[in-house]
Amino acid sequence: MKDKFPLMQLIDQAGNIVSEEYKSDITEENIKKFYYHMLRLRTYDRRGRALQRQGRIGTYVPFEGQEGAQVGSALALDEKDWMFPTYRDHGAALAFGAELHRLFLYWSGRVEGAVPSLTKRILPASVPIATHLPHATGAAMADMYKGTKNASIAYFGDGATSEGDFHEGINIASVFKAPVVFFNQNNGYAISVPIEKQMNSETIAQKAVSYGIPGVRVDGMDVFAVHLAVKEALDRARRGDGPTLIEAVVIRFGAHTTADDPTKYRDQEKIEQIRDEVDPILRLERVMKNNGMWDGAWINQTRKEIETEVNEAVEQMEDFDKPNPADMFDYVFEKAPWTIQKQKETLLRRSGS
């Protein structure tokens, strides 16, 4: 089936522009825009991992290697579109307009971090796998009935395609022609389970055939290809032609979370060997150098500005009081059942609160 769902690519790993049709879109302005956002995401991501190792935040979910997929997709959205991210898509949320300190607050356990932005339509990160796909369909249908041109994008990994919510969300969207893009980042592993142990399909994109919608397979390390694929899917959605399933093939460079050891289930040395070759940020740097667009002074200045912004966001996060663990028992039920109430009382008693 891979021949029926070829990998869409505009820029190859060597930084060569391989599409004459879209060559005019690969301008210095666009390259610098994408590069800035990907560098910002990587700086934030590495700081998140460092903060976790220092005990300053809780478990953290890294996304290094997937910056091209997240930036390319997020920057294709319109101002009033809806974003439904997973726990690994804080990069996409950041590129779409989430506030840096709020993302750090999320990982530090503050409830304020569950609201990534006060102005953008970004839902809290979905930790349960695939449960947000029907929600994305519902939000898209609501806007469709209101007569707007707003669309939704739902992010999910390859493991989510093994969940019932994946099929239900896409099926409903297909039947009612909901303006939603189902954006899969296929990094080959559902935590430690390789994709070949959870499905016989050669691709995820081909699953679209079952629902009578377009399926697109794209090089997720190519930010321009991702941006184009998502833009075309969103345009289709806004025309009233329904949803699209996009499979962005990516490589997760590191662990599933900071509580994971990827060397237990995959050849991590091989990942490190090919890292520079496939890195989406280095790919853009090669495009710059190949086309006379390299501006070392601009890159250095951009790095400094991003570092300053991230440092300030960390300070903002740490200015907040430590989260109260008892908060986890509130706002789940209108009236907490006795079992929940007893757990809360036990926690308060043991903590001396």
Structure token digits, residue 324: 């109260």
283 is catalytic: no
- Which residues, other chains included, contact 182 with Cβ-Cβ below 8 Å and sequence gap of 6+? 133, 136, 154, 156, 169, 170, 173, 243, 244, 245, 246
User: What string of pLDDT tens digits covers the 353 residues of the chain?
Assistant: 788 899 999 999 999 999 989 999 999 999 999 999 999 999 999 999 999 999 999 999 999 999 999 999 999 999 999 999 999 999 999 999 999 999 999 999 998 999 999 999 999 999 999 999 999 999 999 999 999 999 999 999 999 999 999 999 999 999 999 999 999 999 999 999 999 999 999 999 999 999 999 999 999 999 999 999 999 999 999 999 999 999 999 999 999 999 999 999 999 999 999 999 999 999 999 999 999 999 999 999 999 999 999 999 999 999 999 888 888 888 788 899 999 999 999 999 988 76
252 is catalytic: yes
Q: Which one from 37, 101, 236, 252 is the annotated catalytic residue? A: 252
Question: Which regions of the chain carry the CATH code 3.40.50.970?
Answer: 7-322
Structure-token match 């297909």, residue found: 174
Q: Which one from 135, 167, 265, 286 is the annotated catalytic residue? A: 265
227 is catalytic: no
Task: Report residue 65 CA to chain centroid gap.
Answer: 11
Task: Kindly report whether the global pTM for this prediction surpasses the value 0.75.
Answer: yes
Q: Assess contact for 250 and 219: CB atoms under 8 A.
A: no
Q: Which pLDDT value is given to residue 353?
A: 65
Q: Which one from 217, 227, 256, 283 is the annotated catalytic residue? A: 256
Q: Which pLDDT value is given to residue 3?
A: 84
- Which residues, other chains included, contact 79 with Cβ-Cβ below 8 Å and sequence gap of 6+? 120
CATH number (3.40.50.970, 3.10.20.600, 3.30.200.20, 3.40.50.620) of 7-322 reads 3.40.50.970
228 vs 106: CA distance, rounded Å: 31
pLDDT in tens, 27-60: 999 999 999 999 999 999 999 999 999 999 999 9
Q: Which pLDDT value is given to residue 331?
A: 79
Q: Can you tell me whether residue 77 is helix, strand or coil? A: coil
Q: Assess contact for 246 and 182: CB atoms under 8 A.
A: yes
Structure-token match 């994408």, residue found: 34
Q: Which pLDDT value is given to residue 291?
A: 95
The widest CA-to-CA distance across the chain, in whole angstroms, is: 68
Structure token digits, residue 127: 């930790």
Structure token digits, residue 267: 């050849």
- Give Cα separations from 229 to 69, 73, 75, 307 (angstroms): 11, 8, 12, 31
- Among the listed residues 347, 344, 346, the one whose alpha carbon sits nearest the alpha carbon of residue 329: 344
124 vs 132: CA distance, rounded Å: 10
276 vs 13: CA distance, rounded Å: 9
Q: Assess contact for 154 and 184: CB atoms under 8 A.
A: no
- Which residues, other chains included, contact 133 with Cβ-Cβ below 8 Å and sequence gap of 6+? 84, 154, 156, 160, 165, 166, 168, 169, 170, 182
